[in-house]
Amino acid sequence: MTDFTSAKPHRKSWSLPDPWSVGAIVIAGLVLAPIVSVLLIAFNPTENIWPHLLSTTLPRYFGTTLVMMFSTGLLAAMVGTGAAWLVVRHSFPGVRWLEWALLTPLAIPAYIGAYALVDFLEYAGPLQTALRSTFGWQTARDYWFPEVRSQGAAVIVLAASMYPYVYLLTRAGFREQSGCGHEVAQSLGAGGWSRFVRVGLPLARPAIAAGTAIVMMETVNDFGTMDYFAVQTLTTGIFTVWLQGNNAGGAAQIACVILGLVIFLVAMEKLSRKKVRFYALSRRHRPIQRLPLSGVRAWLATALCVVPVLIGFVLPVTVIGEHALENMEGFVARGLLKAFWNTLTVGGIAAVLTVVAALFMVYGVRLSGRRLPQLLAPLTTIGYAAPGAVLGVGILIPLAASDHLLADAVEALTGNNIGLILTGSAFALVLAYSVRFFAIAQGAADSAMERVAPNLPMAARSLGRDRLKVLYEIYLPLMRGSIGSALLLVFVDCVKELPATLLLRPFNYSTLATRVYDQASLENIGDAAPAALLVSAVGLVAVALLARANR
């Protein structure tokens, strides 16, 4: 007979979390901390000016941001999608080099494109000067010319700089489509435009939506272009309320509005294709064959692809290059070499730390199998969606408070004043860059690990290798290309980042991006040109390597 009274209740055994799980949770916490900080500051401001903002400037900031966001997204989507369809589907003069030339605007930050466009089109610029000389006009009253520093010009500059996000993703979407569907549509009498609208466009919709969402988020993040064209958006409002109004709580409240807007964008992009699925129904995937164009149509296709390259790349490089040649002494000007060194060191350190942290977290989440790290990992991608100005608010205020507490504690214990270690150095910049671009490194590491056959690490474990050696000896050699690309992309984005750098840089500390902004905001394009060329050169190297990787 069984003695049930002596039976002990079953207790669930639980063990301490392994270091990989703890590390993944800590990294995720550091990435999410600035976002949480913004929310805490916004809901507990020292001086609540939310009613004042709501009744005065906030509606204007919000409305202008929406107009800029949707206008830029629509124009970039039209240019990027149309160019991708032309280079994938048709053969025309110059299509081979245009396929890669269409990526070159990625090398030019939007604010540099803004400086170049204004310099070229303004009253004293070469275009209007040539018009007055040709037609004998004496003053601006003798002819009409569109306003250069306007909201419409800002939309054109931003779209010309960022349409490659749509183009790159959409081109891949078109290339992955099977030629069978297009051949069936053609056999049923569908012309070129009908095949594009009814077959190509619906199948590429997820890629177009993803690229357009990136463009719209980057438009919300932009500060340099908006400030130069005097367009008042939510991001410029953060600078105005915080730096000019000296109200950090109000800046955090505006930052929360931006966060809500960005989260809404991401959610809508995902919901728009939640129930949409496309499958290849044929056993053999037949790639789309380029259809040759001839005559006027061929040259029109070439022109349509050349125009965005001219506006987004050729014009900025030509204008800035001309100013740089006229001001060769600017390359040896005081402060440029230091700014260049600061850019390389801070961007390089941030890129390495970001990629290492992303690799550790992705590997840790895979090893742990625990629920919390798996839930936190997707949330860390919100850093890329958060504009640099939002991260600046979320990092600088708590970091400055911690810095003062640390300095006071050390002085009380030792009598020595160590100064501000965290905010007085480039630490805040490295942290902001790492949080802002962590999603890039995480996505690269995650997709690269997915491609490693699981039997390889299992075999290494069976041969006595521990987890760290499996990562070092199995994963890293197979992920070398993805890791290199992630390092490069994060570094280039750090070089181009302006809003977070302006807010978080220590006193008398400049990078190439801030040096360009400081000089151009004083209408001194000549002194800004050398730094602008260096920023563009770094971006161009990245674009060349990106194009090579996407052949």
Same domain, 94 and 222: yes
- Does residue 88 sit in the same domain as residue 220? yes
Same-domain check for residues 43 and 82? no
- Chain segment 474-530, per-residue pLDDT in tens: 778 878 777 887 888 889 889 989 999 988 888 888 999 999 998 888 888 888 899
- CA-to-CA distance for 61 and 235, rounded, in angstroms? 8
Give the tokens for residue 333: 């000007």
- Distance CA(37)–CA(396), nearest Å, equals 10
- Looking at the chain, how many residues does it have? 551
Q: Please, are residues 174 and 85 in contact by the beta-carbon 8 Å criterion?
A: yes
What pLDDT is attached to residue 311? 94
Q: Are residues 348 and 266 in the same domain?
A: no
User: What are the backbone angles phi and psi of residue 91, rounded to the nearest 5°?
Assistant: -115, 125
**Together in a domain, 190 and 309:** yes
The band of 229, judged by pLDDT with boundaries at 50, 70 and 90, is: very high
pLDDT at 114 over 90: yes
pLDDT band for 446, please (50, 70, 90 cuts). Answer: confident
Whole-Å CA distances, 208 to 155, 204, 211? 19, 6, 5
- Position 43: which residue type? F
pLDDT greater than 90 at residue 44: no
More confident residue, 195 or 424: 424
Q: Is the pLDDT of residue 30 over 90?
A: no
Say which residue, 146 or 173, is predicted with more confidence: 146
Average pLDDT of the residues in 298-305: 93
- Detail the DSSP E strand segments found in 52-142: 90-91
> Residue range 185-210: average pLDDT?
65
* 115 and 211 fall within a common domain: yes
pLDDT score for 1: 43
Q: Tell me which residue of 146, 106, 100, 86 sits closest to 303, measured CA to CA.
A: 86
Helix (H) or strand (E) holding 291: strand 291-292
Question: Same domain for 205 and 300?
Answer: yes
Instruction: Round the average pLDDT of the chain to a whole number and report it.
Output: 82
| CA separation, residue 543 to residues 92, 302, 437, 442, 509 (Å) | 23, 21, 17, 20, 28
Same domain, 41 and 84: no
The token pair that represents 409 in the structure block = 């504690």
Domain coverage including residue 204: 50-273+288-324
In total, how many domains does the chain have?
2
Residue 263 lies in a domain: yes
What local confidence, expressed as pLDDT, does residue 274 receive? 58
Q: Is residue 102 over pLDDT 50?
A: yes
When mean pLDDT is compared over 204-208, 279-283, 399-403, the highest value belongs to 399-403
On the question of pLDDT at 161 being above 90, the answer is yes
| Res 65 pLDDT > 90 | yes
**359 in any annotated domain:** yes
Inside any domain, residue 10: no
Q: List pLDDT tens digits, range 329-352.
A: 878 888 889 999 999 999 999 999
pLDDT in tens, 69-88: 999 999 999 999 999 989 98
Name the band, by pLDDT with cuts 50, 70 and 90, for residue 25. Answer: confident
Please give the structure tokens belonging to residue 192: 């070129």
What average pLDDT score do residues 448-454 get?
75
Residue 178 pairs in a beta bridge with 287
Q: Tell me the CB-side half-sphere exposure of residue 480, using CA atoms within 13 A.
A: 5
What's the Cα-to-Cα distance from 185 to each of 85, 204, 497, rounded to whole Å? 16, 16, 45
In a domain, 547, yes or no: no
Q: Are 319 and 435 in a shared domain? A: no
Average pLDDT over residues 415-442: 84
* Same-domain status, 296 and 382: no
Instruction: Kindly state whether residue 462 falls inside one of the protein's structural domains.
Output: yes
pLDDT of residue 550: 59
Whether 535 is in a domain gets the answer no
Q: Is residue 65 part of a domain?
A: yes
Left if phi > 0, otherwise alpha if psi is -120 to 50, otherwise beta: which for 386? Answer: beta
pLDDT of 283 strictly over 60: no
DSSP string, 396-465: HHHHHHHHHHHHHHHHHHHS-----SSTTSTHHHHHHHHHHTHHHHHHHHHHHHHTS-THHHHHHHHTT-
pLDDT level of residue 9 (50, 70, 90 thresholds): very low
User: Is residue 7 very low, low, confident or very high in pLDDT (cuts 50, 70, 90)?
Assistant: very low
Between residues 352 and 188, the one the model is more confident about:
352
- Which residue in 250, 219, 239 sits closest to 65, CA to CA? 219
Q: What is the pLDDT of residue 168?
A: 84
pLDDT of amino acid 70:
94
Please report where in the chains the tokens 């949330």 appear, as a residue: 379
pLDDT of residue 282: 47
Please state the pTM of the whole predicted model. 0.83
For residue 545, being part of any structural domain is answered with no
Same-domain check for residues 298 and 372? no
Report the distance separating Cα 360 and Cα 372, nearest Å.
16
Contact 216, 68 (CB under 8 A): no
**CATH number for the domain harbouring residue 64:** 1.10.3720.10
Considering 475, 490, 509, which residue would you say is the last residue of a domain?
Answer: 509
Please report which confidence band the pLDDT of residue 6 belongs to, taking 50, 70 and 90 as the band edges: very low
Predicted local confidence at residue 196, as pLDDT: 64
- Asked whether residue 350 falls in the same domain as residue 401, the answer is yes
